[in-house]
Structure 1
Amino acid sequence: MDLHLAGRGYLVTGASSGVGLATARALLAEGASVAACARDPERLRERLADAAPEERMFLASADVRDAEQMRAFTDGAARAFGRLDGVVANAGRSLMAALDETGDDQLREEFDLKLFGVLNTVRPALEWLELSTGASIVVVNAILARQPESRLAATSAARAALLNLTRTMATDYGPRGVRVNSVALGLVDTGQWRRRYEDSGTELSYEDWCADLAADRGIPLGRLGTAEEVAHPVVSLLSPRASYVTGATVDVGGGIARYV
């Protein structure tokens, strides 16, 4: 199926690894132009070097918590492509700590990253998105937003706030021709889990450790997801073929969600 993404321009944050990288590569494979940012520009360039011709990529170092950096990145991307048709607000991380173990500064940092990381990305892009005939924003969130975990107290709270904010953006931006949707992740095999595996001191192989993790978390499919399995619904929501979908949240968690 042709997703009608070729020739369009998209902005992806946190694109040097995981879901951001997989999404950037998927968009490039569809013939789109991609502006990708990360805090490590060398790794970003290395990971995307073979993905597409240079003229279809705009790669830069930018921290989503810094509004001025994101404004400069967005302006540079819009000048390079002459347009912006969509945004994937993906940059993020998790803080593994119970509420009693979480300091006030850590709590503020989580909300700063989750909320302002998205706002700093979306705000400068809006003036360009309003010129597009198929404008779409996809916010990469987590199932934690609706199903909090006590061991991820601050992250769960910040994710919930982000889900609420995303729904408000869908309501406010819809009349301006901009769709806004969320993709909520479960456990996805990215660098974060590999680092936790290495820090665990286990004698299990990574595959067996992941299988035990999936069983412990009650994932019906019995495994962690892959970044590519997340990128597909993200790219699908960006497509003009999803032109009547806004304010929605698509769960990509192997069935881990317990809510209805």
Structure 2
Amino acid sequence: MDLGLDGRAYVVTGASSGVGLATAAALLREGAHVAACARDEERLRRALDPLPRAAGARVFAAACDVVDGSAVEAFTVEAARRFGRIDGVVNNAGRSLMASVAETSETQWREEFDLKIFSVLNTIRAAEPYLRASDAPAVVNVNAILARQPEPRLGATSAARAALLNLTRTLSADLVPIRVNSVCLGLVDTGQWRRRYDTAATGQSYEEWSAGIAADRGIALGRLGRADEVAYPIVALLSPRASYITGSTVDVGGGVSRYV
């Protein structure tokens, strides 16, 4: 199916690895232009280097700290100048803070909300004038199943994720006709899990070790997800073919959710 993304332009934050990188690659395969940003420009460019030369011509890559509103504004203006348009935004920048509530400092609480909430607001505010000029504007906020299903050692991250889920629903009403949706992740096989496997040094293969994690977390499909498996629903929600979907949440967690 033609998703209707050819020639359109999309901003992807946190694009130097994992879901952000997979989403940028998926958009490029569909013929779209991609403005990719991350805090570490060298790492971002290394990550994008394997792209085919033809696709590389449709990429604008630059360092940008998404909690810095001025930096986001400058990045977005340059992306629009290069591509002549912005049709969508993927707010993907994020991380998890592993700590109990008692172990989490006030500074860390503020940092979590800065990253999960203000990064999204900064990016949408900067892109909104260009999105309103598009005939198929869309925003996808990459969130986590933690937003509805908090875990004990992820208190600050769970709370910030819940706030983002709520904010996304509000934005879907406030920003009409711009469509705003959420994709909520479970456990995805990214670099952090590989590093934890190396640290664990259990003697198991990575497949055995990660299957044990999946079983412990109650993942119905019995394995961690892949970044490209998350990229597909993100790209589908950006597509003009999803034109009647807004304010919705798609879980991509292999059946891990315990809520109705």
| Equivalent residue, structure 2, for 1:29 | 29
Matches within 5 A, 1:177-188: 177-188=177-188
- Secondary structure at 2:102 match in 1: helix
CA distance in structure 2 between the aligned counterparts of 1:163 and 1:197, rounded to whole angstroms: 30
| Equivalent residue, structure 2, for 1:5 | 5
Residue 98 of structure 2, aligned match among 89, 96, 99:
96
Superposed displacement of residue 201, structure 1: 4.2
| Equivalent residue, structure 1, for 2:207 | 207
The structure 1 segments of at least 4 consecutive aligned residues displaced by more than 4 Å after TM superposition are none
- TM-superposition CA deviations, 1:6-60 (whole Å, max 9, x none): 0000000000100000000000000000000011212222222242533311100
| Equivalent residue, structure 2, for 1:77 | 79
| Equivalent residue, structure 2, for 1:164 | 166
* Worse-matched range after superposition: 240-249 or 188-197: 188-197
CA distance in structure 1 between the aligned counterparts of 2:107 and 2:199, rounded to whole angstroms: 24
* Worse-matched range after superposition: 238-247 or 53-62: 53-62
CA distance in structure 2 between the aligned counterparts of 1:42 and 1:99, rounded to whole angstroms: 34
Letter of the aligned partner of 1:134 in structure 2?
A
Letter of the aligned partner of 1:145 in structure 2?
A
Residue ranges of structure 2 left out of the alignment (5+ in a row) = none
Count of residues paired in the alignment? 258
Q: Is the 8 Å Cα contact of residues 29 and 51 (structure 1) preserved in structure 2?
A: no
Letter of the aligned partner of 1:142 in structure 2?
A
Superposed displacement of residue 117, structure 1: 1.2
CA distance in structure 2 between the aligned counterparts of 1:118 and 1:198, rounded to whole angstroms: 33
Matches within 5 A, 1:103-182: 103-174=105-176, 177-182=177-182
Percent identical among aligned pairs is: 67
| Equivalent residue, structure 2, for 1:62 | 64
Q: Is the 8 Å Cα contact of residues 137 and 179 (structure 1) preserved in structure 2?
A: yes
Residue 88 of structure 2, aligned match among 74, 86, 89:
86
- TM-superposition CA deviations, 1:187-228 (whole Å, max 9, x none): 000112222223334333322221111011010100000000
| Cα-Cα RMSD | 1.1
CA distance in structure 2 between the aligned counterparts of 1:135 and 1:206, rounded to whole angstroms: 40
Matches within 5 A, 1:188-203: 188-203=188-203
| Equivalent residue, structure 2, for 1:51 | 51
- Secondary structure at 2:57 match in 1: helix
Residue ranges of structure 1 left out of the alignment (5+ in a row) = none
TM-score, with length taken from structure 2: 0.97
CA distance in structure 2 between the aligned counterparts of 1:48 and 1:69, rounded to whole angstroms: 21
TM-score, with length taken from structure 1: 0.97
